[in-house]
Structure 1
Amino acid sequence: GSMPPRRALVDPATEDDRVECMANSMNVMAAAITAQTNAKTQRDLEKREREVLAAGTRVLTSFNNQNPPRFRGDGGPAAANLWLQAIEKILGAIHCPEEEMVTLATYQLLGDAEY
């Protein structure tokens, strides 16, 4: 009889799905932020940013302690992919809740987009 295939510790398909899912979430967030920027006053945006920061401070602190890489927006899809994987690894390490992942990813992107 044939041996059942050995299970890998990490299912690569699942990992890819998570990265892809996160990339999609970030695209949605980026689009939402762009729309907000166009539609809202700067004051509203700053208020929203403060709320995001306040909500994410605890996780953000752990996150920043890991020295996350900043995504500069250059280097094309390969660079974006590597960045996402690095972020994923950190988020996994600090056991970041799913809903805060988008906040953190957005925070990282926002930080770069503003300068």
Structure 2
Amino acid sequence: MATLTEFQSSSVEMGEPSRRTPIFVALHQSGLYGRVARRKLLLSKRHMTACLEFAKRHLKYSETMKNKIHWSDETKIGLNARCHICGKLGTIPTVKHGGGSIMLWDVFQLQGLGD
């Protein structure tokens, strides 16, 4: 998957500078339309099953045991905008790395936030 800007810059690098409109028309004639890439969690069925089994195993903890549990989680937040892609409907894009992001991590328990 490539963006219209990437197509234009590659044509300039090949020594054939062109405007965006002819590239846009050629892509549409080929059946390629611009879309915004949908974000989807990368969780497999195995991950979801493991989380459910963990929750079922720990349902019957006593109150004193529940007070000792520390829950932690982390998330990655990207600092770049939505990604516009150009491709046929139903094709699966590859995972591209790069851009800025931050990782957040936190822990909490019954008494409040952790240290």
Greater strand share, structure number: 2
Smaller-chain TM-score bracket: under 0.3
The structure with the largest alpha-carbon Rg is 2
- TM-score, length-normalised on structure 1? 0.27
